Structure 1
Amino acid sequence: MQRWGSGDGWLTRARRNGAYERFVDRTDDVMLVLALVFVVVLVWPLLNPDLPPGLREVLHWADVTIWAVFAAEYSVRLLLAPNRWRFVREHIPDLVVVAVPPLRGLRFLAVLARLLGLVSMVGRLSRQSLQVRTGTYTGILAIGVLFTGAVTVYDAERTHPDANIRTFSDALWWAMTTMTTVGYGDRFPVTTQGRLMAGVLMLAGIAILGIVTASIAAWFIGQFSAVSEAVENAVESVESVEDAVESVEDATEETAEEVERVVDQQAELLAAVRDLSHRLSRLESRVDDAVRHLDAPRHAEKGGTGTEPALMRDDQGI
């Protein structure tokens, strides 16, 4: 038997064509606005018990209507989701809003999770640094969880005969001491819903404190890393300059040695030329002496002195 919604029907084709993403894009802004209105509808009657009956009735029907819209929107998204089990696991807060309408505190906590998605989106779109965005998101998350815990416990405790949390200020004080893990003990919940919320606040306080501590540590590590990187770059630059200086010194030494070799070669060549010049001079002197010695007998026979130049003697026919 073929499962409903399986096969190549219109639903399967819609999933393949991205119907889920288109539906979420078109309804996400509307659902965020409804979540804000839902927060007001949930909290206003709790913080102001003296509301007129007519206004309280309007808020009640607004509560029911918004819850119905949330239920319808969740059902459509579940129908269009490509993987339903994965959708359910990743959207637990939305399921809480739809499945437990009598538990107003849990519904408020679930709506807060939806609103935090908007804060996260705004943080991603901002141009601030990661540490600043993380700190902003953590601060908003802490305030939201604190206010949610106070509202939830106040709603659960205010009508109980043995409760010691009677006003919203008492609930807010208790939420602050619980979330910061101080726990003075002057205010404490006695109902099951209040104690469950106390456990959530304790875990949330520890988690948020860990996030804050990790963010501060990451900031310091980032600063130290930047300084260390700058120092390393400076050291590398100095080492590069030293290497360049050593290279220039080596090149200068090699050039000086080459110049010395050239100078030595030129000095040797000059000495050789001078020696050759002296030899040529001595050789010319010897040649002249030999010529005069050979020409002396002929000049004696001719009556010459033998001291005339050889060219003149030839011109005279001697």
Structure 2
Amino acid sequence: MSARTPAPPPPALTHWERHTEIPLLGASLVFLAGYAFRVLAPHDAQPWHDLSLVLVGATWLLFILDYAVRLRLSRLGPRFPRVRWLDTLVLVLPLLRPLRMVQVYTAVQKKRERPRLGLYARVISYAGMTAVLLGFSAALSVYHWEHDAAGASIRTFGDAVWWACATLTTVGYGDAVPVTAVGRTIAAGLMACGLGLLGAVTGAFSSWLIQVFRREDEKEPPASD
């Protein structure tokens, strides 16, 4: 018995997503910049702190409005959060919204008759974009929660970036470790994502090598007796 094919999204939802994806990506980068300023700028940097707070709040309200429109146009009702789990995740955790850049890039590639990058190059480039955005967002969040905590080893943003790199690559030196509950939750999520990204890149690179060696073997003339 074949698996049931999921129903395509309604045309109205597809039209909405096609016309709002790029503007919302820009809004997500504004959100990330505003949050980064809130976290990294000195506390006496006024009125810029207030301006960054306004930017963060305004873009978050924009994401809520977009979510409400998607919910209505999808006709999924209460099943929407489960079926469209990525939309729900980036609404709850807006710092992850720049990860939708991968979806935008994928859509651009699909519009071409022949993608500019090969399959394995695309996997590696998508994983690279995801790692950079995810690592930067995690470093900001961990620094925000950790740098004033008692007994914290992550005191500067540089420490947070170093920790994010070590966690994403699953190295885990142990010299910078979150001590708060929120910091450890972020670390657990980043470790899981790091394993997935590392597996995707390793698998794509291994498959590419196998194809290269197979082509070389096919080009070699048969051995004579």
Which protein has the bigger helix share?
A: 1
Cα separation, 2, equivalents of 1:136 and 1:197: 24
Cα separation, 2, equivalents of 1:20 and 1:121: 15
The structure with the largest alpha-carbon Rg is 1
**Aligned residue among 23, 29, 52 for 2:22:** 29
- What's the % identity of the aligned pairs? 34
**Aligned residue among 88, 106, 115 for 1:120:** 106
Cα separation, 2, equivalents of 1:166 and 1:156: 10
Residue pairs, 1:25-104, within 5 angstroms: 25-50=18-43, 52-84=45-77, 87-98=80-91, 100=92
Cα separation, 1, equivalents of 2:84 and 2:155: 34
Residues 135 and 228 (structure 1), Cα distance of their counterparts in 2 relative to 1, 3 Å cut? same
Partner of 1:164: 153
Checking the alignment, whether the CA contact within 8 Å between 1:116 and 1:141 is kept in structure 2 is: yes
Partner of 2:3: none
Residue pairs, 1:128-143, within 5 angstroms: 128-143=117-132
Cα separation, 2, equivalents of 1:175 and 1:157: 13
Checking the alignment, whether the CA contact within 8 Å between 1:45 and 1:51 is kept in structure 2 is: no
Provide, for residues 228-250 of structure 1, a one-character-per-residue CA deviation record: whole Å limited to 9, x for no partner: 3445xx66xxxxxxxxxxxxxxx
Checking the alignment, whether the CA contact within 8 Å between 1:123 and 1:133 is kept in structure 2 is: no
Following superposition, the deviation at residue 74 of structure 1 comes to 0.6
Q: Which has the higher contact order (CA 8 A, sep 6+)?
A: 2
The count of corresponding residues between Structure 1 and Structure 2 is 212
Following superposition, the deviation at residue 221 of structure 1 comes to 1.1
CA RMSD of aligned residues (A): 2.4
TM-score w.r.t. the length of structure 1 is: 0.61
Checking the alignment, whether the CA contact within 8 Å between 2:38 and 2:53 is kept in structure 1 is: no
Partner of 1:154: 143
Cα separation, 2, equivalents of 1:181 and 1:21: 37
Checking the alignment, whether the CA contact within 8 Å between 2:37 and 2:49 is kept in structure 1 is: no
Cα separation, 2, equivalents of 1:26 and 1:121: 12
Residue pairs, 1:217-228, within 5 angstroms: 217-228=206-217
Provide, for residues 280-301 of structure 1, a one-character-per-residue CA deviation record: whole Å limited to 9, x for no partner: xxxxxxxxxxxxxxxxxxxxxx
Is 1:107–2:94 an aligned residue pair?
yes
Partner of 2:151: helix, strand, or coil? coil
Once superposed, which parts of structure 1, at least 4 consecutive aligned residues long, lie more than 6 Å away? none
Checking the alignment, whether the CA contact within 8 Å between 1:135 and 1:212 is kept in structure 2 is: yes
Cα separation, 2, equivalents of 1:132 and 1:165: 35
Partner of 2:170: 181
Cα separation, 2, equivalents of 1:123 and 1:173: 33
Provide, for residues 247-289 of structure 1, a one-character-per-residue CA deviation record: whole Å limited to 9, x for no partner: xxxxxxxxxxxxxxxxxxxxxxxxxxxxxxxxxxxxxxxxxxx
Provide, for residues 159-187 of structure 1, a one-character-per-residue CA deviation record: whole Å limited to 9, x for no partner: 22232211100111111222222222211
Cα separation, 2, equivalents of 1:88 and 1:226: 46
Checking the alignment, whether the CA contact within 8 Å between 1:158 and 1:166 is kept in structure 2 is: yes
Partner of 1:208: 197
